[in-house]
Amino acid sequence: MGPLLALGCKKTLDLKDIPQLANPDSANSVFSHFRNKLDSDANGSGKGGQVSTLKLGKALGFSLWKEILWTALFSIIRTLASYVGPYLIFAFVQYHNSPHQLNYEGYTLVFIFFLSKLINGLSDRHLSFLLRKMAIRIRATLFAIIYNKGLKLSNQSKQVHSSGENINLMSVDVERTSLFSWYLHYIWKVPLQVVLALLILYKRIGLASLVAFVTRLILMLVNIPLGKLQEKFQGKLMDSKDQRMKVTSEALRNIRILKLQGWEMKFLAMIVELRSFETRWLKKLVYTSAMTVFVYLSVPMLLSMVTFGFCIFTRIPFESGKILSALATFEILQGPIYNLPDTISMVIQTKVSLDMIVSFLCLDEFHPNIIQKLPRDSAQVAIEIVEGNFAWDLHSPTLTLKYLNFQVYHSMRVAICGSVGSGKSSLLSSILGEVPIVSGTIKLNGKKAYVSQSPWI
């Protein structure tokens, strides 16, 4: 980025000045790879290719297996390197207090401290970069599959699934699913961190480490109800946001009617009321998050008080090296204690988001094969409907359009006239194949046929 920023200071950047995205990172390549994994899994299951939450999660995992392995490796290196300091603090203090100091031992300890910190920093930066890259790939993949599905939805599905829900699906559920990549390795890394910390504490302060472990469990149990409250408030917030987005989308979509009837202020008041309802849930969520952060910041102090108090009560001898090692370990334990309930909550939220995405992907699609394409060298008929019966709702006994028989030739200008609600838009939609056909035939010539609609015709 350095040369690019330097060039940007000298002149206005052009598109050719900006480095191009690598082909494996492009949305087209990422989506194609994911689609192949999803289709192969769906075809191999023998269940009609129906998408499920498990299949979607497996396809995402198999399409990103290299990134998952690399991030797991960097997570292990970072975890091990972070515990080198707390473990060797005792040896460093012992060396400092020793009357017979050997220079090479001190230099060795300092070099190990420096090397562990260097490895920790490098692995943390590479881990963050790969996790961010993986999150972007997940987001691009889900955006693409949701967008492609939205282009194929049948009219019945569009009536069930509003545009406001679709916006929330892409802005909330996709973002939450991509955010899970940051928590993916916490599932196994948190228990590993806790075990390493307890081993160090047991080696330094003996049985007092068990007291620290019990205290840690209690603090984790305190986080569980807070996590449940967060999950509840998050769900309520999402529901209220869906309602607000639905009303806002309807108002924007029908803004001409609102202005014609003078209903702008009524709909504005409705949107403001829904927004205030959403704000109340947002405040509850923020207050709960603040309490969770307070518990998180209080962990090292509470663990130190309980553990050292037990040492005083049981007359466990204190040494400066042991105290410093224990304090450093408590500081590292702060992360796992906070991350475990948060990870559990994120797993639940991601499962809910994937269920929402899968329910959208399982909606009925528009079937383009209901329209027969005539060869280019056929007669001059551009559009032909034979004994056409159409219905927006296939389960309704009432047909929207029935007994349609007509032909439209090339170079003809045809106007469809009628009163409001007489079926002009339905007729054009049936020609395009958007209205489900009950019986009959639709034929289109391979040559260009233009179908348009005037608002007054």
26-54 pLDDT, tens digit per residue, is 888 888 888 888 887 766 555 545 778 88
pLDDT at 141 over 60: yes
**What is the reported pLDDT for 153?**
77
Of 370 and 424, the structure prediction assigns the larger pLDDT to 424
Mean pLDDT of 13-36: 85
Output 150 or 219, whichever has higher pLDDT.
150
Section 427-456 average pLDDT: 67
Backbone angles phi, psi at 384, to 5 degrees: -145, 130
End-to-end CA distance of the chain: 56
For the stretch 171-214, pLDDT in tens is 788 888 888 888 888 888 888 888 888 888 888 777 777 787 78
Angle, helices 84-97/65-82, rounded to nearest 10 degrees: 20
Spatial distance between the Cα atoms of 233 and 285, rounded to a whole number of angstroms:
6
Q: 126-135, 137-146, 296-305, 438-447 — which is least confidently predicted?
A: 438-447
Q: What does the pLDDT average to over 281-294?
A: 84
pLDDT of residue 373: 65
Question: What pLDDT, on a 0 to 100 scale, did the predictor assign at position 368?
Answer: 59
Q: Is 442:431 a contact under the CB 8 Å cutoff?
A: yes
Higher per-residue confidence, 139 vs 452: 139
Q: Does the structure show a pLDDT above 80 at 118?
A: yes
The pLDDT of residue 454 is 47
Q: Is the per-residue pLDDT at 449 higher than 70?
A: no
Task: Tell me what pLDDT residue 49 has.
Answer: 55
The owner of tokens 């060396």 is 95
Looking at per-residue pLDDT, the higher value among 200 and 379 belongs to 200
Residue 376 pLDDT grade (very low, low, confident, very high; cuts 50, 70, 90): low
* Cα 439 to Cα 403: distance, rounded to the nearest angstrom: 9
Nearest-CA neighbor of 157 among 382, 414, 370, 366? 366
Under the banding of pLDDT at 50, 70 and 90, the label for residue 71 is very high
Q: What are phi and psi of 62, to 5 degrees?
A: -70, -30
- Phi and psi, residue 443, nearest 5°: -130, 135
Which helix (H) or strand (E) segment holds residue 378: the answer is none
pLDDT of residue 101: 67
Q: Identify which of 66, 92, 59 has the alpha carbon closest to the alpha carbon of residue 320.
A: 92
- Residue 359 burial (CB < 10 Å; 0-12/13-18/19+)? middle
Choose among 355, 382, 356: nearest CA to 447.
382
Could you tell me whether strands 371-374 and 437-445 are parallel, antiparallel, or unpaired per DSSP bridges? Answer: parallel
d(CA 186, CA 223): 16
Q: What is the pLDDT of residue 163?
A: 67
pLDDT above 80: residue 219: no
For residue 130, pLDDT beyond 60: yes
DSSP state of 173: I
Worst-scoring range by mean pLDDT, 60-64, 290-294, 378-382, 421-425?
Answer: 378-382
| pLDDT of residue 83 exceeding 90 | no
With 70 as the cut, is the pLDDT of residue 428 above it? yes
The region that residue 48 occupies, defined by phi over 0 for left and psi between -120 and 50 for alpha, beta otherwise, is left
Residue 297: is its pLDDT beyond 80? no
Residue 122 has pLDDT above 90, yes or no: yes
